[in-house]
Amino acid sequence: MSPRVWLITGTSTGLGRDMAELVLKKGEIVVATARKPEVLDDLKAKYPASQLLTVKLNVDNDQEIEDAFAKAGEAFGHIDVVFNNAGWGTVGETEAMPEDEARRIFDTNFWGAANVSREAVRFFREVNKPSGGLLLNNSSMSGIQSVPGMAYYSASKHALEGITQALALEIDPTWKIKVSLIEPGGFYTEGPKKAATSSGYSHPAYNAPTLPSNVFRAFFKSGVRFGADPTKGVQRIYDLSLLSDPPFRFVLGKDAVAAVRAEIKSIEQDVAKYETWSDGLDFDT
């Protein structure tokens, strides 16, 4: 079996970088994309061009997305797996976050990821011979259970969840395209480290230290190392990529499992409590 070709977004740091390193160690081929591809020079020094292609890609830029897929096709002829991973966030209450910053979060986490998804499906269907491929959209447990103090990040992940589910339902099964939504919990990557040292945004009305957003902010600022080992996390995602029939949702991390179960329980309780309010809503005959 020939080595698979992966296109991975957001490989500068975090899960994207760890995934790129793991896939390369497995002997497979990586198209590693980053806003500043020079940060990948150390990998280029270790792996031949026949195994690693680095490409400049800001997922906020539609043309750069198209160009990245085109370069992957020119270099390797096909793409087997797309790890749609690029994303970021910053701390701040809903009222505190400047609108331009909130829109920037959505430009990357939603629109960027959505446009990478669209191009991945097109490539899998029209370029791969035979058609087929695996799209791994990296969401977050906050795409299920929102985090106070990370409202716009959470909202962007909710939006990614919605479009990924719709896309998966729209795809013609004859195209042989699989879609999985990865919902990781906390992993100790550069994201949490930066959040711990960033001032973020605050609103004077939210000054009580017991408010959830301030508890969350204080936890970040404490400097305590938290979260799971990202190298073990990407190994689980890699294992998922080998399944012939991967699940649509893949909740990863004990904190994520607990959060998703708590959210499901809360929804079920609300539905059950007010279920009878949906009785008698039909038109009178």
Chain-centroid distance, C-alpha 133: 18
State which CATH number among 3.30.460.20, 3.40.50.720, 3.30.960.10, 2.30.30.40 fits the domain covering 5-251.
3.40.50.720
Position 198 scores a pLDDT of: 62
Please report, for the chain, the start and end positions of each structural domain, with discontinuous segments joined by +.
5-251
pTM of the model: 0.94
Residue 154 phi, psi dihedral angles, 5° rounding: -60, -45
Which residues neighbour 177 within 8 Å (Cβ) at sequence distance 6 or greater? 121, 124, 125, 131, 132, 133, 134, 135, 171
Q: Among residues 157, 180, 238, 241, which one is catalytic?
A: 157
Q: Among residues 12, 139, 154, 213, which one is catalytic?
A: 139
Q: Among residues 47, 152, 153, 206, which one is catalytic?
A: 153
H/E element, 42: helix 41-46
221 included as an active-site residue? no
Going residue by residue through the chain (285 aa), what tens digit of pLDDT does each one get? 799 999 999 999 999 999 999 999 999 999 999 999 999 999 999 999 999 999 999 999 999 999 999 999 999 999 999 999 999 999 999 999 999 999 999 999 999 999 999 999 999 999 999 999 999 999 999 999 999 999 999 999 999 999 999 999 999 999 999 999 999 999 988 766 565 556 689 999 999 999 999 998 888 777 667 789 999 999 999 999 999 999 999 999 999 999 999 999 999 999 999 999 999 999 998
Position 193 scores a pLDDT of: 55
Position 209 scores a pLDDT of: 94
* Cβ atoms within 10 Å, residue 78: 19
Which residues neighbour 139 within 8 Å (Cβ) at sequence distance 6 or greater? 157, 160, 161, 164, 181, 182, 183, 184
157 included as an active-site residue? yes
